[in-house]
Amino acid sequence: MNIEELRTYCLSKKGVTEGFPFGPDTLVFKVGEKIFLLTGLDSNPLSFNVKCDPEWAIELREQHPHSVLPGYHMNKKHWNTIRVNGELHRQQLEKMVDHSYELVFNSLPKSVKDIL
């Protein structure tokens, strides 16, 4: 997965917007004005931060210590940094993006969900 594939995948989800609220080097994806994924445009290999259930976050970090790390500059209990270094296959990466999106979407007020 590269940055364009990640971007396309994120934008395919209902109600997703993208922007650069932290400057021109950090691409942020939101649903209902809440962040579910962010990535640095200059990271090599590609890496991105996603929200994660705390128990699953620990499990993923233990299973993939070279690819799943505590969220860089984020709440380490609820966010993981994912390195796209070849250890995880696309389906696993997409599952983490989906999980983050669903956590954030499900936390939105019903009135916002209905609009989306």
d(CA 65, CA 108): 31
Tens digit of each residue's pLDDT (9 = 90 or more) over 46-93: 999 999 999 999 999 999 999 999 988 888 889 999 999 999 999 999
Q: How does the average pLDDT of the chain come out, rounded?
A: 94
Cβ proximity of 60 and 68 under 8 Å = yes
Distance between start and end Cα atoms, the chain? 27
pTM: 0.92
Q: Which domains does the chain have, with CATH numbers?
A: 3-111 (3.90.1150.30)
- H or E stretch at 96: helix 90-107
Q: Which residues have C-beta within 8 Å of that of residue 5, sequence separation ≥ 6?
A: none
Where is average pLDDT lowest: 35-39, 50-54, 84-88, 111-115? 111-115
